[in-house]
Structure 1
Amino acid sequence: MFKRLPGDEARNLVSTTPDTAVVFRPAVVTTPAILTLIILAGRVLAGLVRMTWRHPIAMLAAVAPGVLTILYGWQTALLLTAPTPAGLAAWALTDRDSFVRLVGRRLQAWWRLIWIYRRHWQPVMIVSGLGRHIRGRDYLPRLVKVTCTPWADLVTVRMLKGQAVKDWADRLDHLAQGFGAVSCRVALTHSGRLTLTFPRHDPLAVPIPSRPLPDAATVEAIEVGKQEDGRPWLLKVHGTHVLVAGATGAGKGSILWSAIRGLLPAVAEGLAELWALDPKLMELSYGRDLFGSRYAATPEECADLLDEAVSIMQKRAARFAGLQRNHTPTVDDPFVLVVVDEVAFLTAYQTDRQLKHRISAALATLTTQGRAVGVGVLAALQDPRKEVMNIRNLFPDKIALRLDESEQVDMVLGDGARDRGALADHISLVPELGAGIGYVRLETSPEPVRVRAAYVSDTDIRAMVATFGRAA
């Protein structure tokens, strides 16, 4: 039988049976009830002060009618408070956008803070392992604030001392299910602070039609779709190289054609040139008249075209040496965008070793030296493995569309991208729901951004050829 011993007497036990469990009862110190009430009252008061500081408008709206009723009676209180809701109602009816932006989102954030996050904060943190219950006390990350956007809740959290972002990234599913969201993403904002993004609905669920042609010729930022926050997705092609990876039917053609479409006014004015490598003879061949003589389909033609691009790049570098470090598009030195559809067919699946070496060497040369002199590469592929595409790290900007395996996400976007919410392997297989949706990781930011490319239809391509075919 077990024997209950008080306090520290268990340390004096000597047992001849080492496997015998010793159960002892620790000493209990009785806390006076008045001290417990004082501590509880202090916590309530601190909570009210904190709530008033964070949400002054909501607290004023809730407290003011009661205070006026106590001081002056309900008739006076009604007379003084009635104009406020009437004015807010009139504001909402006459200018809904500004009302929602300045008032509605704040009230929504306050309500979701109280009803969704603060109410479930303790159990979700403890069950997910992000909080600790030690000796009867809960140690929880601090819920700082909630901000509502039109499509998501942004929850700012102060981590516990000793926690890392990876601790949260490993528990995104727990957080999403705990707070009733479809998914969750995490991003470090300041030292010790991070932002959790809980989408309320998907703003990219509906396919996006092709973007209008730019009014003015530009090679800088081309609108190719929409970001998850509703802003236009501007793809930089000048001064960088872009790698697009996605399974069959993921929408790689949408990105290629949207980029081509955005550059056509610059091509018409002689400020840009489009060079196309189309080894599959399917995607880019539909608008081959846009590329003129700068179109290649067979591996031999692709190798020759890449060697020509390298030659132009090297001649420019020789002329620019000591004079300028950055390229400015002109008619004499236009920006050259080399578009490669299914680059793995040329670099990995090519049976001719000599041809394969030529193509790989030319692509490596362009991606290491081309952007400073105005030669960019926009390449698409299906399989992002290193043995298939051994120069993928030479592309500063990367786009991951729907991928087959979770490991491929980090292959494309870099280590830890999937842990931060780039769930490219979870994108829907249904074309209407998932085609063109992906995650972008730019050279200037490690955080992946969810986007959807606009769909450029066959009709759009035929119209582009009819209008700009001769310009190429």
Structure 2
Amino acid sequence: MTSTFTQTPTDWVRRTEELASIIGCPVEVRPINAQRVRIELLARAPLRERSFVRLPTQLDLNRPLTIGVRADGTPFRLAVAEKQTLLVGQSGSGKGSVIASILAGLGPGIRDGIVTVDAIDLKGGVEAGSYVKLVRTPAWDYASARELLLGLVQELDDRLTTMRMSGYRKIEPSAATPLRVLIIDEAAHLIYQAPDAKTRAEVDLLLKRILSTGRAAGYVVVAALQDPRKEALASRDLYTQTLALKFRTRDDAVLALGQSAYDAGARCEQISSATPGTGFAIDGETGAIVQFRAFWVSDGDLREMARIYAPTARETQS
């Protein structure tokens, strides 16, 4: 619907944007002249209702994964294979829905051996345990997480050496050289649970090594985080795309995507608690702010994913 108001005060526009964010409607505010503004709202609100995941049968790693729905009702797609992804949002904001939707999209590749998933969950596997059958190597404690990161870096170095000797600048994932996806649930625990400063620095360096040099070799990270502050994750600047879900305060929302994104409409603190999995991202093609809601993935969906996607062999060549 389109409405035109004369002499619209600034806070009228702000309140309209807030309402649109809460109910999941896209909104555009277009100045007509110094005293008139046009506010355009999409009449339907596709983010208010859950969109249930559809488990794909094939995977094309050259195309982004469809992991949810945008505010205009079109599919929300996320490039995972060539990006380092940071997912931020307060507890209960629906980060698990985003991760499960990513795993559903990658599922056919996991089944066929061209994708492997490793997972770190230092809450004892409470979150990642729900999809553990899709995971090559799970790490539920700090010592295991350190060993997993060390092993991944060694594999990465070997693959980079092979690429250099063969003249390859980029790996095409295959059964021989699968895409390695590392999922980290609550990445801040890698800092806060470290037994000592030396181990914390070592783990931070290992993670930075994967983030900074892994993409071309087919090593990517999807990390979830509650606290958007730099102290919670020293490596956050190395992530090449960020998805921001609900936050309690404006300050956290600004820290998540930046002031310019906030000014453009990424008001994460205004997302309704009744719509978990809803967030904002920056479109990689246009730079525009995109509001989305990840698919709803039920416990039954997770069991079905484990049944149809779980690899028959846990170990594959790097």
Structure 1: distance between partners of 2:29 and 2:207: 35
CA deviation string 1:321-366 (max 9, x = no partner): 2712222111111100001111001124434322222221111111
- 2:299 is aligned with 1:458: yes
- 2:171 is aligned with 1:327: yes
Question: Counterparts of 1:207-226 in structure 2 under 5 Å?
Answer: 207-210=50-53, 212-219=54-61, 220-226=63-69
- 2:231 is aligned with 1:387: yes
**Does the 8 A contact of 1:245 with 1:381 survive in 2?**
yes
Counterpart of 1:441 (choices 262, 265, 282) is 282
Structure 1 residues 404, 252: closer, same or farther in 2, change over 3 A? same
Structure 2: distance between partners of 1:195 and 1:241: 38
Structure 1: distance between partners of 2:154 and 2:40: 47
Cα distance, 1:174 vs structure 2: 3.0
- 1:249: which partner in 2? 92
- 2:71 is aligned with 1:233: no
Q: Which sections of structure 1, spanning at least 5 residues, go unmatched?
A: 1-107, 129-172, 188-193
Question: Counterparts of 1:82-97 in structure 2 under 5 Å?
Answer: none
The DSSP-based 3-state class of the residue aligned with 2:81 is coil
Structure 1 residues 368, 428: closer, same or farther in 2, change over 3 A? same
CA deviation string 1:257-295 (max 9, x = no partner): 111121121112111111111111211112212214x11
The DSSP-based 3-state class of the residue aligned with 1:387 is helix
Structure 1 residues 196, 390: closer, same or farther in 2, change over 3 A? farther
Q: Which sections of structure 2, spanning at least 5 residues, go unmatched?
A: 22-26, 31-36
CA deviation string 1:240-270 (max 9, x = no partner): 1110001111000011111112112111211
**Does the 8 A contact of 1:185 with 1:420 survive in 2?**
no
- 2:247: which partner in 1? 403
CA deviation string 1:215-257 (max 9, x = no partner): 2133342111111111111111111111000111100001111
Cα distance, 1:318 vs structure 2: 1.4
Aligned residue-pair number: 300
The DSSP-based 3-state class of the residue aligned with 1:326 is coil
- 1:374: which partner in 2? 218
Structure 2: distance between partners of 1:185 and 1:424: 17
**Does the 8 A contact of 2:142 with 2:193 survive in 1?**
no
**Does the 8 A contact of 1:342 with 1:379 survive in 2?**
yes
CA deviation string 1:55-76 (max 9, x = no partner): xxxxxxxxxxxxxxxxxxxxxx
Which amino acid in 2 is paired with 1:174? W
Cα distance, 1:466 vs structure 2: 2.4
CA deviation string 1:7-29 (max 9, x = no partner): xxxxxxxxxxxxxxxxxxxxxxx
Cα distance, 1:202 vs structure 2: 2.2
Counterpart of 1:337 (choices 150, 169, 181) is 181
Of structures 1 and 2, the larger Rg is shown by 1
**Does the 8 A contact of 1:246 with 1:381 survive in 2?**
yes
Which amino acid in 2 is paired with 1:213? L
Question: Counterparts of 1:240-279 in structure 2 under 5 Å?
Answer: 240-279=83-122
The DSSP-based 3-state class of the residue aligned with 1:357 is helix
Structure 1: distance between partners of 2:221 and 2:55: 21
The DSSP-based 3-state class of the residue aligned with 1:418 is helix
- 1:300: which partner in 2? 143
- 2:34: which partner in 1? none
Structure 1: distance between partners of 2:180 and 2:250: 34
Cα distance, 1:371 vs structure 2: 0.5
Which amino acid in 1 is paired with 2:198? Q
Structure 1 residues 369, 463: closer, same or farther in 2, change over 3 A? same
- 2:265 is aligned with 1:424: no
CA deviation string 1:419-454 (max 9, x = no partner): 11001111112xxx2200000124544322000001
Normalising by structure 1, we get a TM-score of: 0.59
Counterpart of 2:199 (choices 340, 345, 355) is 355
Structure 1: distance between partners of 2:112 and 2:79: 19
CA deviation string 1:305-328 (max 9, x = no partner): 111111111111112127122221
Structure 1 residues 381, 363: closer, same or farther in 2, change over 3 A? same
**Does the 8 A contact of 2:18 with 2:270 survive in 1?**
no
CA deviation string 1:83-116 (max 9, x = no partner): xxxxxxxxxxxxxxxxxxxxxxxxx7xxx4xxx3
Structure 1 residues 470, 179: closer, same or farther in 2, change over 3 A? closer
CA deviation string 1:130-159 (max 9, x = no partner): xxxxxxxxxxxxxxxxxxxxxxxxxxxxxx
Cα distance, 1:199 vs structure 2: 4.3
Structure 1: distance between partners of 2:168 and 2:133: 34
- 2:129 is aligned with 1:285: yes
- 2:316 is aligned with 1:316: no
Which amino acid in 2 is paired with 1:271? I
* Identical-pair percentage: 27
**Does the 8 A contact of 1:181 with 1:200 survive in 2?**
no
**Does the 8 A contact of 1:396 with 1:443 survive in 2?**
no
- 1:68: which partner in 2? none
Structure 1 residues 229, 270: closer, same or farther in 2, change over 3 A? same
Structure 2: distance between partners of 1:181 and 1:255: 24
